Amino acid sequence: MLNRGRLTAAGLAIALGASLAACGSRPKTSGFTQKLVILGFDGMDPDLLKQWIDAGRLPTFKKLADGGGLYPLATTHSPESPTAWASFATGVNAGKHNIYDFLVRDTATYLPDLGMVRREPPKFLFNYIPTSKPKVHSIRGGTSFWVTAGQAGVRSSVLTVPVTFPPEEVPNGELLSGLPLPDIRGTMGTFYYFATDLSRYEEGNTEFGGVLKRLVMENDTARTELIGPPNPVVRQQLEKLRAKSPALTDEDRKQIAALEEKEDIRLPMIVRWDRAAKTAVVDINGESVALEPGKMSRWINLDFRINFFVRVHGMTQLLLMKADNELQLYISPVNWKPDNPPVAISHPSSFAGDLFRRLGPYRTLGWAEATWPLNEGRMDEETFMEDLYKAFDDRAQVILDRIDARQWDVLVGVIESTDRVQHMMWRLMDDRHPMYDAALAAKHGGAIETIYRRADQFVAEVLEHLEPGTDLLIVSDHGFHSWRKAVNLNTWLVQQGYMVIQGQQPGEKKLDDLFGGAEFWENVDWTKTRAYAMGLGQIYFNLRGREAKGIVSSGAEATSLADELAARLLTMQDPEDGSRIVRAVYKRDDVYSGEFLGNAAELQVGMEEGYRVSWQTALGGSPPGIVYPNMKKWSGDHGGYDFATTAGVLVSSKRINRNDPSIMDIAPTVLKYFGLSIPGTIDGKSLW
Ligand SMILES: [Zn+2]
C-alpha cells in the first residue's frame, strides 16, 4: 500500500517546499566590536511623538531624545511604506530602487498590479505532476545595507522590514520577511465572516478583501466552507482554454465554467451552535474547535489539498463574535505556516521554522493587523485593538528573541501596528472628521496614544536587553494626517479634458480585484486620454511609445503638459468651502533619478491635510463627483499627502551631524558605522 502521507510530503517538497538547502551557519563572532540596533515603527508621526513626549507620556523616547536627538526624518516621493522602506534599506531614491507606490501599471494593458513583486505560479505536467515551484520575484532595485555590510563580514538580523519578501540572501545574516508576504490566498489578508444574520445580498467579497457568508442553520448546525487558495492546476487549465479565445467551442465554454467552479480550493466546515450555552463548535480540517464569544481561538492548522501530490499549509484563528440570538463568526486571514510555507519566507529558509519551534505560532502575514474587517464593519473597535496588541507582541517577541541570541552586529526590526492604528482610529482623535463619534471617542479616542506608549515600553524593554555601548536608531518611514475627504483625481482629469471616458461609469473596483481577472479602465478612451491617475497621487501621461495606446509625445509636449497640469492641480478647490486641496505637485525629473526613472509617474500630487486620493482613484476608477466625505473607518493616511508635511521620525542614541536627515541616510550611516566605504550610487549621507 502506498504511504500516502509520505508521498504527499515528497510531492510538496518538489512542488512548493520551502528550500531544504542547508542553512548557512553564521560565525558566533565577527571582527566588529560595534553593535547597532535599528527599530522601525511604521508611520510614527513626529508631531504626535513630540506632543506626547512633552506631556510626559513617553519617558523612554524622552530619555533617548535628551541623550541623543529627536528629528523629523524626510520621507520619500511618494510618502508610502513600500517606497520609504525600500529607500531605508538601499539608501537611494525610488528612481534607483523602482518602488514608487503600492501599485504599478502594465504599460501594455494599463492594468494595475501590486507594486513590490512579480509572481509566477507553479507548473504541473499533465495538469497533475508538479514540475516547478511557485516563484516570487522582487522588483526592488538597489542593494540593501545588510547585504553590502554582510559581504564585508558584518552579521545582521533583519526582522519583518517592509519590502523584504521574497527574502534576500543575506551574507552573514538572517532575515524574516515582512510586507508584502501574503496570506494563503495570495492577498494582503482575506478575512472571513460567517453569520446567520447576513442577507443573501451582503454575501460575497467585500471592497477590502473579506469573504462574507450566510450561515443557514438546520437543527443549529450549518454546513459551509472556507475558501482557500486558488488551485494552480485549475488555473493552468483555465489559462490554456482561455488562450484559445476567440476560437472557443461550446465544449470549451462548458469546461471553463466547470473549472471556474473549482478555481478556489475549499475546506468544508461545520458550525454547531449551542444556543443555550451561547457557544459554538467549529469542525474544520479534522479538528473540533470549541469557541466562546469574544475569545480568539488558538492557531488552527489548515491544509489545502491541490492534488494527490501537493498540499499548501496555513494557520488561522477563529473568533466567535456573537452566539445569542444570532451567530457571528470571524476567521482571520490564513497565514502561511512558518515551518512549512509555500515558498521561503526567511533567510536561511529554516530560520522562520526555527523561530516557530522556539516561540510557537506567530503571524507571518505581512499586513498583520485586522484593518479590513474593522473598515467593513465586521469587527468592532474593542476586538480590533485587542488583535492589534497581539500583532505588536508577535513582532516584539521575535525582535527580543533575536536580540538575546547575540549573533548580530546590526539588528533591524520593524513593527507596523503604529501605522495600522493610525489608519483606523484617527477619526476618534479628530472631532472634525466625518466619522468622529463622541461616544466611541470616549472609549477609544486614546487608541493611538496607547500604541505609542506600547512602543515606548517596548523600546525600554529592548534597552534592558542590550549590552552597554550598543547604539540605537529609531526610525519611522512617514508621518500621518487626518483623511476627512476623498478626492477623485481621475474624475477631475475627465472634467478638465485630460481623460476621456465613454458611456456609463463601470462598477466600483475592489482591492480584491487586483488578485485576479477583473477589468479596469473599461470605459476609458485611450486614443483621446492624455493623463491618468493610479495609486496614491501618481499621475501618468499616456505616452507614445511607452503606453500601448499612448498619444502624448515625450519632450516638449510632455513638458508643457506637466507644467499645465501641475499649475491647474494647484487651483483645485473644495466646492464646499473653497479650501485648497493640492498643496504641491512634484515633477518626475525634479524628485527622481536613476535607472528606473522610466517607470515613474510624470507627476506626484501632494495633498493638503484632510484630503486624500479616493480608493477608486487609486484603482483607476472615475466615479461621479470630485470631493466627498470619507465615511470609512480608515480615517488617517499618508500616501498621496505632500512629501514636505509627511516626514517620519528619527531618534538617535547619539547626536547626528545635521538637522535635515532623510530616510535615505540610514543605509550609509550603517555602512560608515562599520567602517565600510559608501558606494557612489547611494543618495543618502552618513548621519554620524
Ligand atoms: Zn500606512
Residue 269 Cα to ligand 1 middle (Å):
34
Helix (H) or strand (E) holding 358: helix 351-359
C-alpha distance from residue 448 to each of 28, 255, 414, 417, 610 (Å): 40, 52, 17, 10, 18
Classify residue 363: in a domain, yes or no: no
Residue 571 Cα to ligand 1 middle (Å):
27
What is residue 10's predicted lDDT score, i.e. its pLDDT? 34
Rg (CA), the chain: 25
Classify residue 256: in a domain, yes or no: yes
What is residue 515's predicted lDDT score, i.e. its pLDDT? 62
Torsion of CA 93, 94, 95, 100, to 10 degrees: -160
Domains identified in the chain, total number: 2
pLDDT tens digits, 108-135 = 888 887 767 777 777 777 766 777 777 8
Nearest to 611 by CA among 648, 637, 644: 637
Q: What letter represents residue 400's amino acid?
A: L
Classify residue 571: in a domain, yes or no: yes
Classify residue 380: in a domain, yes or no: no
Residue 423 Cα to ligand 1 middle (Å):
7
Parallel, antiparallel or unpaired: strands 191-195 and 103-105 = unpaired
Domain final residue, candidates 604, 621, 642: 642
Segments of 492-578 assigned E as strands: 531-534, 538-541
Domain final residue, candidates 627, 642, 657: 642
Helix (H) or strand (E) holding 271: strand 264-274
Classify residue 615: in a domain, yes or no: yes
Give the domain range for residue 238: 191-336
Q: Running DSSP on this structure, what letter comes out for residue 169?
A: P
∠ CA 33-38-39 to the nearest 5 degrees?
145
Residue 420 Cα to ligand 1 middle (Å):
6
Classify residue 452: in a domain, yes or no: no
What is residue 186's predicted lDDT score, i.e. its pLDDT? 87
Residue 16 Cα to ligand 1 middle (Å):
31
Model confidence pTM above 0.75: yes
What is residue 395's predicted lDDT score, i.e. its pLDDT? 97
Residue 257 Cα to ligand 1 middle (Å):
39
Classify residue 473: in a domain, yes or no: no
Contact 150, 172 (CB under 8 A): yes
Nearest to 141 by CA among 103, 102, 98: 98
What is residue 512's predicted lDDT score, i.e. its pLDDT? 65
DSSP assignments along 595-645, one per residue:
TTGGGS-SEEEEEPTEEEE-HHHHTT---S-SEEE--SS--EE-TTB-GGG
Classify residue 22: in a domain, yes or no: no
Residue 381 Cα to ligand 1 middle (Å):
18
Contact 16, 133 (CB under 8 A): yes
Phi, psi angles (nearest 5°) of residue 509 = -85, 150
**CA atoms of 233 and 327, how far apart (whole Å):** 36
For the purposes of burial, counting CB atoms within 10 Å of the CB of 43, is it exposed (0-12), middle (13-18) or buried (19 or more)? buried
Residue 416 Cα to ligand 1 middle (Å):
8
What is residue 511's predicted lDDT score, i.e. its pLDDT? 66
- Residues lower than pLDDT 70 in the chain: 1-27, 115, 127-128, 504-507, 511-518
What is residue 8's predicted lDDT score, i.e. its pLDDT? 35
Domain final residue, candidates 270, 301, 336: 336
- Residue 196 CA neighbour count, 13 Å, CB half: 19
